[in-house]
Amino acid sequence: YRMDGQKMAVDPNNPNVVYVGTAQNGLFVTTNGGASWQSVSGVPVSAKDSSGVYPGITGIEFDPANTNIIFASSYGNGVYETTNAGASWSQLSGGPSNVEYAAISSTGVYYAVGDNNTDLWSYANGVWTKLLTNSNLGGNGVHTVAIDPFNQSHIVISTPGGNLDQSLNGGATWSGIDWNNKLSATDIPWLATTSQYMTIGGTVFDQLVPNKLWTSAGVGVWNTSLPQSFTKPITWNSQSIGIEQLVANEIIVPPGGNPVLASWDRAFVDVTNPNIYPTTYGPVNGKFAAGWSIDYASSNPNFLVGIADWYGTEESGYSTNGGQTWTPFASFIPGAGTNFIGGTIAASSPTDIIWAPANGHQPYYTLDGGVTWDPVVLPGVS
């Protein structure tokens, strides 16, 4: 639930007043800039989801026109409102049972993405209205909602993948989703090549530049200038230089070589200069895969091996130049990239390699550099 929004809100008229939602312990408030905190008993603690996880308190928003009005959602319990600066809270029945993202207009309309990213609601004058359902979104869901500061009736939603839909009348009617969004990255070119799926975290309109929308995403920070009509593709422009968002699974430094990173999404990165972003990544630019494990051969530190895969993609292989370029193994162990992903790999020489998949799957070894693989069989070990 890390992508869910508004777990904290600051009173726009008094920055010493801050509300914070926790996963398991409910809603808290400080009135002295964080020197002390009090539990907000009027908003119940989050329920568990079907996996036993606590999604927590989200959708926390102050009404900018009247900051005595505050909203907060507790997973499984719905949305709560206070109209007296937190002295008492009321459950707003009839709306979403949980909120993944929210925004509030200067006219006091509370917009909420709810019910596990399946719909969009508005709350105004004591009435909930469902504005969009998952069927309106082609089953792709909705993750964020943003309100145009220059036109409070202009709202934009984004799917989790970064496709936009807009309404010019507060959600009564919609233009239709733009399914042809494009990524443009002149700062770090390969950010735009791996996948068009953006994994949206938050979206917000620029407060100074009309029709400019910003988003934080799993592949960096982006902005776009919205066209008047969504009949032409939306182009997201990368603003990610200086922001490091790769998720390291393993880092090795071969003797005499560069650090090499095995990471999510972009499998292997050869860090030739830690102060400059890399111009390429391996095994193959343009492929979406995770780098799970990496090793160098003790007999030849320039020879590296690595596990790089995702469901439907298998790019595990070797490098003969310290991680600058990669070659897939001539063959893969059974089930790799289809029945399972991840694991750990080790090499003692360019020919002798052990590949142990994750989650208890059969480990294999090769004595010919990956041309053939044989199962590891240890007496008495299943």
Model confidence over 177-216: pLDDT tens digits?
Answer: 888 889 999 988 888 887 788 899 999 999 999 999 999 9
Which residues 6+ apart lie within 8 Å of 223 measured at CB? 206, 212, 213, 214, 215, 236, 237, 239
Q: Is the separation of the CB atoms in 268 and 284 below 8 Å?
A: no
Question: Residue 323: is its pLDDT beyond 90?
Answer: yes
For the four alpha carbons of 339, 341, 343 and 348, in that order, the dihedral sign comes to: positive
Give the rounded percent of residues in the chain with a pLDDT score beyond 70. Answer: 99
- 133 strand-pairing partners: 119
Kindly state the tokens that stand for 194.
């791996």
H or E, element range at 154: strand 151-158
Least confident segment among 40-49, 143-152, 185-194, 218-227: 185-194
- Distance between CA atoms of 239 and 218, rounded to whole angstroms? 13
DSSP 340: B
- 346 strand-pairing partners: 354
Note the pLDDT of residue 193. Answer: 81
Note the pLDDT of residue 347. Answer: 98
Question: Which three-class secondary structure state does DSSP give residue 216?
Answer: strand
Q: Is the separation of the CB atoms in 145 and 111 below 8 Å?
A: yes
For residue 286, what pLDDT band results from cuts at 50, 70 and 90?
A: low
Note the pLDDT of residue 164. Answer: 94
- Distance between CA atoms of 64 and 352, rounded to whole angstroms? 65
Give the rounded percent of residues in the chain with a pLDDT score beyond 90. Answer: 81
Mean pLDDT of 70-91: 98
DSSP 191: G
Note the pLDDT of residue 245. Answer: 73
Kindly state the tokens that stand for 318.
């070797």
Q: How many residues does the chain have?
A: 382
Among 305, 294, 315, 282, residue whose Cα is nearest residue 351: 305
* Count of Cβ atoms closer than 10 Å to residue 34 Cβ: 10
Question: Residue 150: is its pLDDT beyond 70?
Answer: yes
DSSP 22: -
The amino acid at 374: D
Which residues 6+ apart lie within 8 Å of 297 measured at CB? 303, 304, 305, 347, 348, 349, 350
- Distance between CA atoms of 93 and 80, rounded to whole angstroms? 9
Note the pLDDT of residue 243. Answer: 81
Mean pLDDT of 328-347: 96
For residue 242, what pLDDT band results from cuts at 50, 70 and 90?
A: confident
